Structure 1
Amino acid sequence: MTRPTTHRDRAKAERRASLVTAAARLFAAHGYAAVTIDQLGTAVGISGPAVYRHFPGKQMVLEELLVGVSTRLHEGGREVCAAGSPPSETLRALVEFHTRFALVETDVIRVQDRDLPSLNPLARDQVRTLQRAYVDDWVATLRALDPTLSDPLARLRVHAVFGLLNSTPHALRGSRADRAVAANELAAAAWAALTAAASPIGDAPRA
């Protein structure tokens, strides 16, 4: 991606980024369908028609938001895995990376949960491809740590952890929990879910 070099280019890039941030907040609060171009413009101090200088329409704002976050997750996961640390350290780093994301990007998670179907099919496929690649990195790391895990079981655990961490926007809504404490608790729960010894419920000791 080409970096803006002139003051005008930087200002335009900053305005575009501010529109995406505002869109995340508005879409999370009201739903994609209910938000208008005028509301997007007002949120960043410009008119509705001025939004079209940066995006062809509201659909492209949603695309940049959701494809963008999937790209960041995928690239961040790849960076963690490329560090070449032992599997246990890599898995802990992945957990910490996603925990930070879940605590910071709460609006984006809400939009992803509710408004992904509003993306055009090509953008939706792009999001799904990036998400699968991100999952693959987690699965490969988990199986390197525990080679006895089958691929399906490793994927089940990874998806379960994503469900746990991505529920953060709902769990913390209206909560007074300290974010640092929440981060530690979530990371610990995620690690336990990923590395737990297999123990079918039916075999659990009865009280």
Structure 2
Amino acid sequence: MSTQAPASTSRREQILKEAARLFAERGFHGVGVDEIGAAVGISGPGLYRHFAGKDAMLAELLVGISERLLEGGRIRVAAGGENPEDPEAVLDALIEGHIDFALDDRPLITVHDRELDRLREADRKRVRRLQREYVELWVTVVRQVHPECAEAQVRACVHAVFGLLNSTPHLSRPGALPGRTEMAQLLHRLARGAFGAVSAV
């Protein structure tokens, strides 16, 4: 019994990964169920054992990543970075977590930007609510680092940093990205620089 659940989970994750890649490359309406099935080595109809259809895949992709970002952020804040008494360390931990997403899940960024409006209203509202909670998590930490800054300024800066970090899909041409470690370090420096500049606004 215990040997089948991991295989099922793995197959679902594989389907979602390929669906995200194909949706990002061709758009939601440009991809058929048969193509997603072929990408994971099963028939198109076989996908219906895992998902009700493409709409369900899209919802799980976009709701799922919003949930994971928020949960990961909460864990990092609760852990307090390397020093729970140092909000700078917590901010660094949040930045590192978002950079991991921006570098490892670039297709999801593209899919979110293009296809969010295709979700049914309940799922779209859920994504937006999760995103607002994620933003507020960051705002709270940044205000601890920069208590002299107005809340509106900090919130605007958080959104700007998200835009910066989420720009990675636009750098995906061959040779456009340095190595992953170097790119992560660059993004981290840019994000910290942006947050450092908020006090001068």
Same fold by TM (over 0.5)? yes
2:5 matched residue in structure 1: 9
Deviation at 1:56, TM superposition (A): 0.8
**What is the distance in 1 between the residues matched to 2:8 and 2:100?**
28
Kindly provide the CA deviation profile for residues 1-59 of structure 1, in whole angstroms up to 9, marking residues without a partner as x.
Answer: xxxx6222222222111110110110011011111111111111111111111111110
Q: Distance in 1 between matches of 2:18 and 2:171?
A: 22
Distance 1:21 1:160, change over 3 A: same
Specify the alignment match of 2:189 in structure 1.
188
Code of the aligned partner of 2:25: A
Matching residue of 1:204: none
Does the 8 Å CA contact 2:62/2:112 hold for their aligned counterparts?
yes
Aligned to 1:47: 43
The residue number in structure 2 matching 1:90 is 90
Question: How far apart, CA to CA, are the structure 2 residues paired with 1:50 and 1:60?
Answer: 15
Letter of the 1:69 partner, please give it: I
Q: Determine if contact 2:154/2:198 at 8 Å carries over to the other structure.
A: no
Q: Could you tell me the TM-score, scaled by structure 1's length? A: 0.90
For residues 130-181 of structure 1, the C-alpha deviation after alignment (integer angstroms, 9 at most, x for no partner) is 1111111100000011111111111000000000000011024331522211
**How far, CA to CA, are the matches of 2:142 and 2:78 in structure 1?**
15
Distance in 2 of aligned mates of 1:140 and 1:21: 32
Rg larger in 1 or in 2? 1
Q: Give the CA RMSD over aligned residues.
A: 1.3
**In 1, Cα distance between equivalents of 2:172 and 2:4:** 39
2:190 maps to a residue whose letter is A
Percent identity reads 46
Q: Distance between the aligned counterparts of 1:109 and 1:135, measured in 2?
A: 16
Unaligned stretches of 5+ residues in structure 2: none
Partner of 1:122: 122
Q: TM-score, normalised by structure 2?
A: 0.93
SS at match of 2:42: coil
Q: Which amino acid aligns with 1:42?
A: A
How far is 1:199 from its partner?
4.0
Matches within 5 A, 1:29-40: 29-40=25-36
Report SS of the residue matched to 1:196.
helix
Please state if 1:101 is matched with 2:101.
yes
Distance 1:119 1:96, change over 3 A: same
Q: Does structure 1 conserve the Cα–Cα contact (< 8 Å) formed by 2:153 and 2:198?
A: no
Aligned length: 196
- Following the alignment from structure 1 to structure 2, what is the Cα–Cα distance between the partners of residues 34 and 197? 41
Q: Write the letter of the residue equivalent to 1:180.
A: T
Counterpart CA distance in 1 for 2:130 and 2:116 is 14
Distance 1:107 1:148, change over 3 A: same
